[in-house]
Amino acid sequence: MHTILKLSSLYDDESWSIPGASVLDFRDLEGSNCYCSPAAESVLRSAIAGERLSGVHWIDSGDYHYISKLWMERINGPFILALFDNHPDDQEGAFGESLLSCGSWVLSARRELKQMKSDFLNTSAVPGALPVYISIDLDVLSPDFARTDWSHGTMTPETLLGSLDAIAVSHRIIGADICGGLTAAKGAGPEDYSINTRIRGKLLDYFTIHPPVSG
């Protein structure tokens, strides 16, 4: 049910893991930090093709949030994206449409994924009854509850989890991914690790009780 994608030292710095999870190690993959080269994109797409879509995908720091689009490419029918992020990630990239990036992947999904019928940012008010794919960047939370190298929002874990509950009342959750954190190379220390592993634990507990459903 859980897939962990290692693209930096993040999870090792935190000494964080999930027993029994599938672990894909891309720490030596060139051309993947913030902007994803066509070669790196091909490697990542091929690697996750054999992983379970209807699970929880832990995709390292927010620098790699663009991997959400690669997961969503695998959804066959109409769906809605519910994004929880302090940034909309729908900006034109510095290189136009030529490179997928952590800041442009939502815009890319709107343009390319015909099965994605709409997307909503930081809200539990998701209309209709289509299946929903959940994407969470920890920077949506206040720095009291998560530490990343991007600017933070003010959301609390209770609000985030309550929003997930509200969406699940009228929608089938078909997959989820979670990114965000802070590495030692970017100045993280013991307090940052403690805060981040605490929120990862809350999200792990939540999705253990409310796992995404296929079909």
Q: What is the pLDDT of residue 38?
A: 94
CA 16/CA 28 separation, integer angstroms:
20
pLDDT at 214: 81
Q: Where are the domains of the chain?
A: 2-209
Pairing of strands 2-6, 56-58: parallel
State residue 95's pLDDT score: 60
- Write down the pLDDT at residue 91: 86
Residue 198 contacts residue 156 (beta carbons within 8 Å): no
Structure tokens at 78: 């109409």
Three-state SS string across 28-40, please? CCCCCCCEECHHH
Residue 84, strand partner residues: 136
C-alpha–C-alpha distance, residues 138 and 147, integer Å: 8
2-209 CATH, one of 1.10.1760.20, 3.40.800.10, 3.30.1360.40, 3.40.50.300 = 3.40.800.10
Residue 210, pLDDT score: 95
Number of H helices, E strands in the chain: 6, 9
Q: Read off the pTM.
A: 0.96
Distance (Å, whole) CA 82 – CA 68: 11
- Long-range contacts for 25-29 (Cβ within 8 Å, ≥24 apart)? none
Which of helix, strand or coil describes residue 201? helix
Instruction: Print pLDDT tens along the chain (215 aa).
Output: 899 999 999 999 999 999 999 999 999 999 999 999 999 999 999 999 999 999 999 999 999 999 999 999 999 999 999 999 999 999 876 665 668 999 999 999 999 999 999 999 999 999 999 999 999 999 999 999 999 999 999 999 999 999 999 999 999 999 999 999 999 999 999 999 999 999 999 999 999 999 999 85
